[in-house]
Amino acid sequence: MSRAFALLRRRLLGSIPVLLLVVVGTFLMLEAAPGDAVDAYLATSGGGDAALIAALREAWGLDRSLLARLAAYLWSLAHLDLGWSVTFSRPVLEIILERLPTTLLLMGSATALSFGLGAALGIVAGARPGSAADRLLSAGSLALYAVPGFWLGLVLLVLFSVELRWLPSGGIESIASGLSGFARAADVARHLVLPVTALGLIYMALYLRVMRAGMAEAWRMEFALAARARGIPRRRIVLRHIARNALLPLVTMLGLQSAQMLGGSVVIETVFSVPGLGRLAGEAVSSRDTPLLIGIILMSAVLVIVVNLAVDWLYGLLDPRVLAPGPA
Partner 1 sequence: MSGLRRLLGAPGGLLGVALLAAFLLAALLAPLAFPGDPQAIAGPPLLRPFADAAWPLGTDRLGRDVAAELAHGARTSLAVGLVAAAAALALGSLVGTLSGFAGGVLDEMLMRITEAFQTVPGFLLALAFVSSVGPSLAVLSAAIALAAWTGPARLARAEVLSIRARDYVAAARVAGMHPVEIALREVLPNALPPVLALASVIVAQAILAEAALSFLGLGDPNRVTWGGMIAEGRTVLRSAPFLSIVPGLALVAAVLGVHLTGEAAVEAQAARRSLA
Partner 2 sequence: MSPLLAVRGLSVAFPAREGRVEALRDVSFDLAAGERLAVIGESGSGKTTLGLALAGLLPTSAIVAGIVDWPGLGRAPSAGRDIGFVFQDPGASLDPLMTVGEQVAEVAEAHLGLSRRQARAAAVDRLSEVGLPEPAELAHAWPHQLSGGQRQRVAIAAALAGEPRLLIADEPTSALDTIVQARIVALLARLSAERRLALVFISHDIALAAGLAERIAVFRHGGLVEIGPAAETVRAPRQLYTRMLLDAHLGLEADA
Q: Rule CB under 8 A: which residues touch partner 2? A: 221-223, 225-233, 236, 240-241, 244-245, 248, 318-321, 324-327
Does residue 275 touch partner 1 according to CB under 8 A? Answer: no
Does residue 162 touch partner 1 according to CB under 8 A? Answer: yes
Does residue 197 touch partner 1 according to CB under 8 A? Answer: no
In the complex with partner 1, the residue whose CB is nearer, 104 or 285, is: 285
Applying CB under 8 A, among 216, 260, 273, 309 the residue interacting with partner 1 is 260
Alpha-carbon distance of 189 to 212, in angstroms, equals 30
Applying CB under 8 A, among 140, 275, 282, 316 the residue interacting with partner 1 is 282
Alpha-carbon distance of 105 to 192, in angstroms, equals 9
In the complex with partner 2, the residue whose CB is nearer, 9 or 244, is: 244
Measured from the Cβ of residue 112, the count of other Cβ atoms closer than 10 Å reads 12
Q: Rg of the chain over CA atoms, in angstroms?
A: 24
In the complex with partner 2, the residue whose CB is nearer, 159 or 225, is: 225
In whole angstroms, the minimum distance from the beta carbon of 14 to partner 2 comes to: 25
How does 223-258 read in b/e, with b if 16+ C-beta sit within 10 Å?
ebeebeeeeeeeeebbeebbbebbbeebbbbbbebb
Alpha-carbon distance of 258 to 243, in angstroms, equals 22
In the complex with partner 1, the residue whose CB is nearer, 152 or 237, is: 152
Applying CB under 8 A, among 99, 212, 241, 288 the residue interacting with partner 1 is 288
Does residue 21 touch partner 1 according to CB under 8 A? Answer: yes
Task: Please spell the DSSP secondary structure of 233-292, one letter per residue.
Answer: -HHHIIIIIIIHHHHHHHHHHHHHHHHHHHHHHHHHHHHTT--SHHHHHHHHHHTT-HHH
Closest by Cα among 83, 63, 57 to 284 = 83
Q: Which residues make up the interface to partner 1 (CB under 8 A)?
A: 15, 17-19, 21-22, 25-26, 29-30, 32-34, 135, 139, 142-143, 145-151, 154-155, 157-158, 162, 256, 259-264, 266-267, 270-271, 281-282, 285-286, 288, 293, 296-297, 300-301, 304-305
